[in-house]
A and B are shown apart, each in its own frame.
Chain A
Amino acid sequence: MNQKQQFNISVTLWTLTSKEIRRFLRIWIQTLVPPAITMSLYFVIFGSLIGPRIGEMDGFNYVQFMIPGLIMMSVITNSYANVVSSFYSVKFQKSIEELLISPMPNWTILLGFILGGVARGVLVGMIVFFVSLFFYPEFQIQNVPLTLLVLLLTAILFSLMGFLNAIFADSFDAISVVPTFVLTPLIYLGGVFYSINILPDFWRSISMANPMLYVVNTFREGMLGVSDVSISFSLIMISIFIIVFSFLCLYLLKKGIGIRT
């Protein structure tokens, strides 16, 4: 028997990652078009129609102020959605057995799905950015490295959260509960549409407990150079959460929770 095939870890990782990317590209009408349309509507309604009446926010034209927030909103929802629905359907269709039976280690399984989610998040983020240029062509990114760093970290963080959600999910309902009842409200109240400086003290303090606020504002700092929160604190917190969630996912995979009977 020929048993000389050496086990090549980069091949397994690329196989899974490219499969994940192909999946969301194949269903682009469900994955890439909706954010472009929704965000265009936001720009038209809140930016072009209502924006002039709102005036300036933190010293910026309202469309300009919204751009980073809307990009973050898209990155968060898309990276999360990609991983939660892909990993849950792999469980549901039992094709997860194809991964579990193979010699690929758990961290490659996790990383493959996360990279898939990051790819979609980043791609959608870029699409929304290009859409926004249509409404505000003179937009200039203030701090490109910081912008890219936050973009990447955010996509990783929410891909991880999507993965966690999928591990525990045992029905299709369970994969929409968190996005609908937790993510969406937190994002809307997390400074996408306004600076918390416009809020009364009480609501401002409450808002400070919303993790989305840190993500959105750090990204706004990168794109516009303004933020309601401390950048270094945010970056450290995002990184800590990424590390904690990664280990949690790996631990659950090792224990076989939600994937092995």
Chain B
Amino acid sequence: MNYALEIKNLVKTYTGGTKALNGISLNVKEGDFYALLGPNGAGKSSTIGIIGTLVTKTSGSVKIFDKDIDINVAEAKSMLGVVSQEINFSQFEKVLDIVTTQAGFYGIKKSIAKPKVKDILIRLGLWDMRNDQARTLSGGYKRRLMIAKALIHEPKLLILDEPTAGVDIELRREMWDFLREINNNGTTIILTTHYLEEAEQLCRNIGIIDKGEIVADTSMKDLLSRLDVQGFVLDLEEHLEAEPKIDGYSLKLEDSLTLVTAINKNKSINNLFDELNKLGIKVKSLRNESNRLEELFIEMVKR
């Protein structure tokens, strides 16, 4: 199996003594769309920083498509694109110049870079703003500029650190489509996010990191199937005095019009409705108690 990214026993202790990573290991397959989740301060950005050589590691190794970042430096780097969590372009330069210069740093000649820059700016909706100073862009468009910069050398592995933080719903969906498209075209993508829905929508595999340790590394499907109980909220048509007793289901009345239940995966929802019908209780609407992944996530990173 070809890995786009192989991390072994990565340790990072910052000067000052903060231990951000306690020896994490992680493999991401070629072509994957991988989510790296974890609470604030878990070590996600530290990991990404080390992969991109922006942060020095204390120990451990990182390989990008089998090229060690310490040994085959230039080769490894030319296959990697990183969208950092924080803005890292000069605010006083023009959008077009920023992306063209970045291409130059990758050794791409101006004549070759020109059409590439135009293409990527058009695809990210930045072409009309190409002559604007970067500082005049809105937050969401600054993120897009970061993505344009990271993609200009056509990396095989793209890592995005919270690319949709502070991006509105419409722009976020557009960004999702864009990322799906480049993933379909063969680019391996790793992203961190605090929107679990985003991970669920986009990613095939998922790693969860907490306090510098990997606490889960599995497929999205597998992870979701671990969740054996699901909470549902039933909105009722008529007021209820006391909660109904139904065998095999635990029901709780939150208020006289709202019934809350947790259903085991091997029990059917149909059955519950049959029983409620028998008791003459009419359900107006049904909704998930909360995002399933979110519940699981909270469970796994409990302090």
Contact = CB atoms under 8 A, between A and B. Distances in A.
A98 B146 CA distance: 10
Interface in A1-23: 1-3, 5-9, 11-12, 14-16, 19
A201 to B, nearest CB: 50
Contacts of A105: 73-74
A5 B104 CA distance: 12
A101 interface: yes
Contacts of A56: none
Contacts, number: 100
Given A93-B91, A95-B88, A261-B56, A9 B105 contact: no
B143 interface: no
Given A3-B156, A7-B78, A103-B77, A98 B107 contact: no
Given A8-B107, A94-B87, A260 B55 contact: yes
Nearest to A9: B107
B101 A98 contact: yes
B77 A98 contact: no
A101 B107 contact: no
B157 to A, nearest CB: 10
B54 A97 contact: yes
A94 B154 CA distance: 22
Contacts of A94: 84, 86-88
Interface string B66-106: 00000001110111101010111111000000000110111
Most chain A CB atoms below 10 A, which of B87, B88, B89, B107: B107
Given A5-B112, A261-B49, A98 B105 contact: yes
B106 A97 contact: no
Contacts of B63: none
Given A98-B101, A98-B102, A11 B88 contact: no
A95 to B, nearest CB: 5
Q: Assign chain A's interface to a size class.
A: 20 to 34
B144 interface: no
Q: Assign chain B's interface to a size class.
A: 35 or more
B131 interface: no
Contacts of B90: 89-90, 93, 95
Contacts of B53: 100-101, 260
Contacts of A16: 104-105
Nearest to B106: A102
Contacts of A90: 90
Contacts of B52: 97, 100-101
B156 A19 contact: no
B88 A3 contact: no
Contacts of B89: 93, 95, 98
Interface in A90-140: 90, 93-95, 97-105
A256 interface: yes
Contacts of A2: 154
Interface string B155-194: 0100000000000000000000000000000110000000
B105 A15 contact: yes
A82 to B, nearest CB: 16
Given A1-B156, A12-B106, A103-B106, A261 B86 contact: no
B195 interface: no
A94 B136 CA distance: 18
Contact of A101 (B56, B77, B154, B156): B77
Interface string B7-29: 00000001100000000000000
Contacts of B91: 93
Contact of A261 (B55, B106, B149): B55
B108 interface: yes
Contacts of A1: 154, 156, 186-187
A256 B53 CA distance: 10
Most chain A CB atoms below 10 A, which of B49, B80, B109: B109
Given A1-B154, A3-B156, A90-B90, 5 more contacts: A89-B90, A98-B101, A101-B80, A102-B77, A260-B55
Interface of A: 1-3, 5-9, 11-12, 14-16, 19, 89-90, 93-95, 97-105, 256, 260-261
17 contacts: A1-B186, A1-B187, A2-B154, A3-B78, A5-B107, A7-B74, A7-B107, A12-B105, A15-B105, A16-B104, A93-B90, A97-B84, A101-B77, A102-B102, A103-B106, A260-B56, A261-B56
Interface of B: 14-15, 49, 52-56, 73-75, 77-80, 82, 84, 86-91, 101-102, 104-110, 112, 149, 153-154, 156, 186-187
Ranked nearest first, the 5 interchain pairs of A and B with the lowest CB-CB distance are: A15-B104, A103-B74, A102-B105, A94-B88, A8-B107
